[in-house]
């Protein structure tokens, strides 16, 4: 785990991942680098870890400082050690369905769907959000399960008309309580990927939970819903990476 700079939220995320590693018996190595670390220094560290047989997975916590190109950092990580599944090789494999790793948040959403006994096949699935980390891979995973998928975002016209048709609604737009209760189909499965701090000790999702809970057939809370699943899927990806690397 590589962390560049002093971002408080990133520190919390890295610490949670470290605890998860300890819990299941994965050795974790932390590299806490100053904010002024150059892109060349960071890539040099990644190349060193790429060649370290003790290391099965490499995670560089995003965002990185502005003077570093995050795509260059993602590209520097060996695809077989890319446990975040952000490398273009792994992204391409998700498109074809022949993948080793899936980005951790969409993977966690699919695990929640599977464990809840929800059948995606033939369902109208709406993903609100188009990021490379969540929205796009989420849509692909639902499509691979034979869902009928619509991708929307904050600029989609008549968004509420689209979301009201969703049997499965995934909110990943990054705007606090953006999805209102009257935007949800009665009985729908609502999965809230958002996590937004609106006060020092208050976190909310992208869904207006109190209103949505009265209408949805199933809904994930924030916090405590998708977040823990994301870390669990990171551990799963790391174990799989270790198995792949052991076969070489």
| Contact status, residue 233 vs residue 204, Cβ threshold 8 Å | no
Angle between helices 104-115 and 135-144 (to 10 degrees): 40
Query: In this structure, are residues 244 and 238 in contact, taking their beta carbons and an 8 Å threshold?
Result: no
DSSP annotation of 16: H
Q: DSSP letter string over 65-87?
A: PTTS-HHHHHHHS-GGGBTT--S
Whole-number Å distance between alpha carbons of 172 and 180: 14
Query: Measured in Å, how far apart are the chain's first and last C-alpha atoms?
Result: 23
Q: Decide if 167 is catalytic.
A: no
Is position 243 annotated as part of the catalytic site? no
Q: Which one of the listed residues 7, 18, 48, 61 is annotated catalytic?
A: 61
CB 193 within 8 A of CB 173: no
Is residue 39 part of the annotated active site? The answer reads no
Residues 6+ apart with CB under 8 A from 102: 85, 94, 110, 137, 141, 233, 237
Please identify which of the residues 82, 84, 100, 206 carries the catalytic annotation: 84
Q: Give the active site residues.
A: 17, 61, 84
């Amino acid at each position: 785990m590589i962390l560049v700079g002093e971002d408080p939220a990133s520190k919390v995320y890295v610490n949670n991942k470290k605890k998860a590693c300890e819990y299941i018996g994965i050795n974790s190595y932390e590299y806490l680098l100053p904010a002024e670390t150059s892109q060349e220094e960071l890539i040099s560290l990644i190349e060193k870890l790429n060649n370290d047989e003790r290391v099965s997975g490499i995670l560089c916590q995003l965002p990185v400082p502005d003077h570093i190109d995050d795509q260059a950092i993602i590209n520097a990580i060996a695809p077989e050690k890319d446990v975040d599944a952000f490398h273009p090789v792994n992204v391409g494999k998700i498109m074809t369905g022949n993948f080793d790793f899936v980005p951790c948040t969409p993977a966690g959403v699919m695990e929640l769907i599977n464990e809840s006994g929800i059948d995606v096949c033939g369902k109208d699935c709406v993903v609100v959000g188009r990021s490379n980390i969540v929205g796009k891979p989420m849509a692909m995973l639902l499509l691979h399960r034979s869902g009928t998928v619509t991708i929307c975002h904050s600029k989609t016209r008549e968004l509420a008309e689209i979301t009201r048709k969703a049997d499965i609604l995934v909110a990943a737009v990054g705007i606090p309580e953006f999805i209102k209760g009257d935007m949800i189909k009665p009985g729908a499965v609502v999965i809230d990927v958002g996590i937004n701090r609106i006060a020092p000790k208050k976190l909310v999702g992208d869904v207006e939970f109190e209103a949505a809970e009265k209408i949805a057939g199933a809904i994930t809370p924030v916090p405590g819903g998708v977040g823990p699943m994301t870390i669990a899927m990171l551990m799963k990806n790391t174990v799989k990476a270790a198995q792949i690397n052991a076969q070489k």
